[in-house]
A and B are shown apart, each in its own frame.
Chain A
Amino acid sequence: MNGSQHMAQPLGFSRRVFLKASAAVGGGLLISFALPGLMRGVQATEGAFAPNAYVRIDRDGRIFLTIQPVEMGQGTYTSMPALIAEELEVGLDQVIIAHAPADDQRYANPMLGFQVTGGSTSVPANWTPLREAGAAARILLVAAAAQQWGVAADSCKAQRGEVLHPTSGRKFGYGELADAAAKLPLPESLPLKEPKDFKLIGTAAKRTDSPDKVNGKAVFGIDVHPEGMKVAAIMLCPVVGGTLDSVDPEPAMAVRGVHQVVRTDNSVAVVADHMGAARKGLAALQIKWNGGANAKVSSAQMLEDIKAASMQPGAQARSEGNVEEALAKAAKKLEVTYHVPFLAHACLEPVNCTVHVRKDACDLWLGIQVPARAKAVAAQLTGLPEAAVQVHNHLIGGGFGRRLEVDFVADAVKIAKQVDYPVKVIWSREEDTRHSTLRPFHYNHLSVGLDEQNRPIAWTHKVTGGSILARWLPAGFIDGVDGDAVRDACGPYAFPNLSVHYVRHEPPSGILPAFWRGVGHTQNAFMVEGLLDEAIQQVKADPFEYRYPLLQQHPRAIKVLELLREKSGWDTPLEPGRGRGLALTHCFGTFAAQVAEVTVSPNGEVKVDKVTSVVDCGIAINPDSVVAQMQGGTIFGLTAVLYGNITFKDGQVEQGNFDTYRMLRINETPVIETHVVASSESPGGLGEVPTVTIAPAVVNAVFAATGKRLRSLPIDPEELRQA
Chain B
Amino acid sequence: MAHVLKINGTEHQVDVDDDTPLLWVLRDVLGMTGTKFGCGMALCGACTVHMNGNAVRSCVMPVSAVVGAEITTIESVGETPAGKRIQEAWLAHEVVQCGYCQSGQIMSATALLARNANPSDSDIDGAMAGNICRCGTYVRVREAIKIAAGQSPVARAEG
Contact = CB atoms under 8 A, between A and B. Distances in A.
Interface string B100-114: 111100100000000
B152 interface: no
Interface residues of B, number: 66
Contact of A210 (B21, B39, B96, B158): B96
Interface in A204-224: 206-207, 209-211, 213-220, 222-223
Main secondary structure, interface of B, reads loop
Contacts of A428: 40
A631 B30 CA distance: 36
A484 to B, nearest CB: 22
A625 B32 CA distance: 30
Contacts, number: 216
Contacts of B95: 210, 214
A349 B154 CA distance: 30
Interface stretch (A412-420, A571-579, A661-669): A661-669
A162 B41 CA distance: 54
A657 B154 CA distance: 33
A636 B135 contact: yes
B37 to A, nearest CB: 7
A277 B100 contact: no
A218 B75 CA distance: 11
B37 A275 contact: yes
Contacts of B125: 666-667
A625 B99 CA distance: 14
Contacts of B101: 348, 397
Interface in B111-138: 124-126, 128-138
Interface in A421-451: 426, 428-429
Given A275-B24, A396-B98, A663 B134 contact: yes
Interface residues of A, number: 74
B82 interface: no
A346 B43 CA distance: 13
Interface stretch (A68-76, A100-108, A234-242, A701-709): A68-76
Interface string B54-89: 000000000000000000011100100000000100
B132 A663 contact: yes
Contacts of B23: 275-276
A257 B34 CA distance: 23
* Candidate in B25, B27, B35 with the most chain A CB atoms within 10 angstroms: B27
Contact of B37 (A73, A350, A624, A673): A350
Interface in A274-299: 274-277, 279-280
B94 interface: yes
Contact of A628 (B94, B102, B129): B94
A624 B131 CA distance: 23
Interface string A663-703: 11111010111111010000000000000000000000000
29 contacts: A73-B96, A75-B97, A206-B94, A210-B94, A213-B96, A214-B96, A214-B102, A215-B75, A216-B34, A220-B99, A225-B33, A231-B28, A274-B16, A275-B37, A279-B40, A280-B20, A348-B98, A397-B99, A429-B38, A429-B40, A628-B97, A631-B136, A635-B136, A635-B138, A659-B41, A666-B133, A672-B139, A675-B158, A675-B159
Interface of A: 71-75, 206-207, 209-211, 213-220, 222-223, 225, 231, 255-257, 273-277, 279-280, 346-350, 395-400, 426, 428-429, 567, 623-625, 627-628, 631-636, 657-659, 663-667, 669, 671-676, 678
